[in-house]
Amino acid sequence: MFTGIVQTRLAVADVLKKEDFATFIFEFSDELTSGLEIGASVAINGTCLTARSIDKDGTGNARVSFDAIGQTLKVTNLGDLSSGSIVNIERAAKFGDEIGGHLLSGHIMQQIKVVEVIESANNLVVWMERPATLVPYLLDKGYVALNGCSLTIAEVERDRFSVHLIPETRDVTTFGLVSVGDKINVEVDPQTQAVVDTVQRLLGSADALGSLLETIRATSGNG
């Protein structure tokens, strides 16, 4: 489980690629390494990966590796990473942690492209594609995770939507380096997805919709 509050942006130290497989290696600081164990989950650009190896250098820093299979490389922008690429990093949340963003699984639905970037001294507006497959979930003032960042949708148009980024977000995440054409990982708000998918299934089934309406009437009558 993740919160969408990115802890830092970090360069990929190395990438070892094989057929339908890749190993990503990072230089983690002492703070990022604290409590990290093999098998732990870490979000890389919002994608949940598992720590495969942790090689500490004696100063508290460590080289940490993560594996990704072909499907992950295809669906997410991790397939485009190379040595020196900058990514967002978030350690998995623990029970009792403050949820500053919104709950995320780290399971990316698809990638979308940045279509416009409007920058000013204290604000950054990023417009991205709104493909038909995501239209039901990308709603005005709704939540969305973009490259692992929990963000609020500012404006929605027919085929695109925007987010507004404060200086802190620009400084800590890869959005401070964003440009037109960049591919962004998307994970929609799970609560929104659950509601939308449930309503769509009910509307697609007359019997199920009728049953729901009867339940609502019965509940209202008991009130």
Among 91, 121, 145, the domain-final residue is 91
8 Å CB contact between 111 and 133: no
Averaged confidence pLDDT in the chain: 89
- Same structural domain for residues 75 and 125? no
Residue 8 has pLDDT above 90, yes or no: yes
User: Which has more pLDDT, 121 or 62?
Assistant: 62
Residue 223 has pLDDT above 60, yes or no: no
Write out the residue range of the structural domain in which residue 170 sits: 110-195
When mean pLDDT is compared across 3-7, 60-64, 215-219, the lowest value belongs to: 215-219
Give CA separation, 183 vs 78, 179, 211, in Å: 10, 9, 42
- Same structural domain for residues 27 and 55? yes
- With cut-offs at 50, 70 and 90, classify the pLDDT of residue 150: very high
Among 57, 91, 125, the domain-final residue is 91
Instruction: Report the CATH number at residue 121.
Output: 2.40.30.20
User: Which has more pLDDT, 210 or 62?
Assistant: 62
